A and B are shown apart, each in its own frame.
Chain A
């Protein structure tokens, strides 16, 4: 479980996050939604430690991330998997080496064990025969799937997905959504997805946080999303569906 308490972040005196609090439960697929520039990406970057909030608490199963020392943070980060908007695959490495990277870096597994794990992860994302391809030779959807395979290689406890559907056609988006959903349930992961894609939110949103101009205005689930009673959220859903 990840708990955020009063997260505040500003850039050059301009507040981007204002006392954002939320709880993301284990085994659930949680969504952070909101318009572009609303603070979703900054919030995610704060959660994974790429940005440091000005104040607040980010609690990973009773471990306050902001108060951990360098080595404790490193250890916790090995429990985090992240799927980036553009995949963020290492250009110079093949698909196989990309997925093997965290295993080579953080485990004492032998070559054959690593290869078995890589093949398992690639099979899990339905990319059985892509081992030797390079990121420049694969499509956007495949890059995302490789990104997921790399993110789950170390059996993470927490999975962060930044706009997993951006730039993908509706069919591929659906495949990626299903994968994220299945992996979350299968491995009992705390999954947090940043998204604009309202269809994905209605399909998968076990828990939803709506961020508007840096403030967390609403929390709920896909069943009460339409009856939130929040005018900004209603406007967001209407605009997204239109």
Chain B
């Protein structure tokens, strides 16, 4: 009953977030700020993680293939598909859940406990729409963009790893990267990225919005937001993979 109740609250919260903004000019301004904040601040961490994921993937898959009869050019293809289908969309989303999810929850939670949300409501501003909607749209823009960037960088990381480890030559790796490319995999990855972005922003905002009390509760809301976002991302990762790859 508690889970159902809280899911119901989440849906009602979403309904209030998706009301049209009171002033479009202010909405666009805060949307741009949020996109910059989410994208720019996560750029570094996504770059580092993606490069290393690609590099490690080459070593791990390479070690499995060594000594087998399979031609080593396949390594590029395996790493590319693993990066595009799973590593980049899922790991970037999990990193973003930790970074922007906790940020959204603590920012909105602090606004709630310091009565700033109440002040907005009393003024006649739809606080959920004013504070949360730009964050949801910004996440829907920046997470897929970062996932796309991560897919590219993970493959670059793979090439760098080939150069240093000499498992295969860089040329062979690139030959594998170009082998039998299915553009639908990009659609699949971006669909997962959109779902993840929506889940991160809405779950974190909802946790922040429900905060009552003080600093301790803000911290707890932030932790809950990250945990719930991560679980939802993994769960939807499974569902979407099942639905999209096994038709």
Seen from chain A, the residues whose Cβ lies within 8 Å of a Cβ on chain B are 48-50, 73-78, 80, 82, 84-86, 88-91, 101-102, 104-106, 160
Contacts and interface: CB of A to CB of B under 8 A. Distances in A.
A140 B247 CA distance: 62
Interface of B: 22-23, 26, 110-111, 114-116, 118-119, 121-126
Contacts of B124: 73-78, 80, 106
B114 A102 contact: no
Contacts of B26: 104-105
A90 B26 CA distance: 15
A88 B118 contact: yes
Contacts of B22: 105-106
A104 to B, nearest CB: 7
Nearest to A83: B119
A48 B114 contact: no
Given A91-B114, A105-B22, A105-B26, A77 B119 contact: no
Nearest to A71: B124
Contacts of B114: 86, 88, 91
B45 to A, nearest CB: 23
A105 B114 CA distance: 21
B123 A90 contact: no
Nearest to B23: A105
Nearest to A77: B124
25 contacts: A49-B121, A49-B122, A50-B121, A73-B124, A74-B124, A74-B126, A75-B124, A77-B121, A77-B124, A78-B124, A82-B122, A84-B115, A84-B119, A86-B115, A88-B114, A88-B119, A89-B116, A90-B116, A91-B110, A91-B111, A101-B123, A104-B23, A104-B26, A105-B125, A160-B122
Q: Give the dominant DSSP class at B's interface.
A: helix
Contacts of B123: 77-78, 80, 101-102, 105-106
Nearest to A154: B123
A50 B116 contact: no
Contacts of A105: 22-23, 26, 123, 125
Quick one: which of B22, B110, B114, B126 has the most chain A CB within 10 A? B114
Nearest to B22: A105
B160 to A, nearest CB: 40
The 6 A-B residue pairs whose C-beta atoms are closest, nearest first, are A77-B124, A88-B115, A88-B119, A78-B124, A74-B124, A82-B122
